[in-house]
Chains A and B, each alone.
Chain A
Amino acid sequence: MKKTISSISAVVTLATLFMMPTQAGAKEMTDEEVTFGRKAGNCLACHMIPGGNLPGNIGPPLLAMKARYPDKATLKAQISDATVRNPDSIMPPFGKHGILTDKQLDQVTNYIYSK
């Protein structure tokens, strides 16, 4: 329970930071940090991504994303809620369930799109 609270509070803290981008001392995470960070996107838990260490293999490798998602907004929508296209998807609905902020979703989308 304590751990849940601390991980929730970490997420809340992060979310708060990103909702107040002008706050002094709030260090912004880079696109890569949001994508790789274990307490942020943690995309490597399931996906191989060029440049990332120790990837999982539950989901497909994130390669050639421009070819797979000609429309970048579709990629963001997929990250935001993969259950729209496949209700059984194991992928967490990062936007719908508030795991990442909208800004963080853009950061992950940008980072993945460059691969």
Chain B
Amino acid sequence: MKKLITAVVSIGLMAGATSAIADMEADRKAFVGHFKSIQPSVEFADYTNGVYAYDEGSRGQFEEILDGIPPYEEAVEKGAAEFEKFGLAKCAALADPAAARVKHPYYDDAAGTVVTLEGTIRKCYNEQTGKKMGPMKGKVARISAWISDQAAGEKVNVKVESDGAKAAYARGKATFYAKRGQFNMSCADCHVYNAGKKARADILSPALGHTTHVPMYRAKWGSLGTLHRRYGGCYKNMRAKPLMAQSPEYRDMEFFHQAMSNGLEITDARYRK
């Protein structure tokens, strides 16, 4: 925690912060302010396009892909059919798909845990079919993508209100800023402090807006994957042992990560390199 505070203060994000109590809205404003300071010409709303807000060349490719038939279109259509086939609309939490995307992730005070959209989909699938669903790709990613498509144009709006929610948020934030793995890097090292810079030829994507297009289609994967699938990949790249997708640690981190994108539009443009 001490290291985290040092890191945050060192880039002037939390000047004057005196309380250890998680204040999401203050964090979010400082987060947005940081990106404004490193990339003054990029508009806040454009962060919904992630790394393509930073680089004209790759944005051109991105737009060409979206102008054609995006490589994930068939998978999302399949997700719609699966939503129907498995009877997921029968679960109250998913009956209104657009509302479900906007509501998640949220802190469930009764259960004392962060609930993600994928968590709700898997639970509902289990209730309706008696079977288990994987947490990273395939059905869960296709169905989550279709549900999220229904909320395209609405804004990310994570609420951190109760004491339990604040504690989960603080844990997620600590995970995001903690160094890990043989490479000793935090998520923030690349995606906050060095966003927009290049690792070899790859531009480091800004954490602001990361969660507007999840589940994402990655060319590297050749398929759709959930946010937690991506977390696992990042952990591996840092030569850290990935945690289980939908583990409490990843759910807490998603809670923080999504909250930082509050106010950005949810998009159905899911393509990433």
Q: Show the binding face of A for B, using Cβ within 8 Å.
A: 1, 3-4, 7-8, 44-46, 54-58, 83, 87-88, 90, 92-93, 97-99
Contacts and interface: CB of A to CB of B under 8 A. Distances in A.
B132 interface: no
A56 B199 CA distance: 4
B239 interface: yes
Contacts of B6: 87-88
Interface residues of B, number: 23
Contacts of A56: 197-202
Among B3, B184, B241, B242, the most chain A Cβ lie within 10 Å of the Cβ of B184
29 contacts: A3-B236, A4-B239, A4-B242, A7-B239, A8-B239, A44-B200, A45-B199, A54-B200, A56-B197, A56-B198, A56-B200, A56-B201, A56-B202, A57-B197, A58-B199, A58-B204, A83-B184, A87-B3, A88-B3, A88-B10, A90-B185, A90-B189, A90-B193, A90-B194, A92-B184, A93-B184, A97-B182, A97-B183, A99-B183
Contact of B198 (A58, A83, A87, A98): A58
A54 B197 contact: no
A90 B179 CA distance: 9
B141 to A, nearest CB: 19
B194 A58 contact: yes
B182 A54 contact: no
Contacts of B3: 87-88
A83 B183 CA distance: 12
B98 interface: no
B93 interface: no
A93 B181 CA distance: 11
A58 B197 contact: yes
Contacts of A55: 198, 200
B24 to A, nearest CB: 23
Contacts of B193: 90
B200 A45 contact: yes
A46 B193 CA distance: 14
Nearest to B196: A57
A100 to B, nearest CB: 11
B7 interface: yes
A83 B7 CA distance: 13
Given A57-B198, A58-B198, A87-B6, A99 B182 contact: yes
Contacts of B242: 1, 4
Given A4-B242, A56-B199, A87-B6, 17 more contacts: A1-B242, A4-B236, A46-B199, A54-B200, A54-B201, A55-B200, A56-B201, A58-B197, A83-B184, A88-B3, A90-B190, A92-B183, A92-B184, A92-B185, A93-B184, A97-B183, A99-B182
Contacts of A97: 182-184
B183 to A, nearest CB: 4
In the A-B complex, the 7 residue pairs with the smallest Cβ-Cβ separation, listed nearest first, are A92-B183, A90-B189, A56-B199, A56-B198, A97-B182, A58-B197, A4-B236
A92 B194 contact: no
B241 A4 contact: yes
Nearest to B7: A88
A7 B190 CA distance: 21
A75 B158 CA distance: 46
B51 to A, nearest CB: 14
A1 B204 CA distance: 23
A99 B10 CA distance: 28
Contacts of B239: 4, 7-8
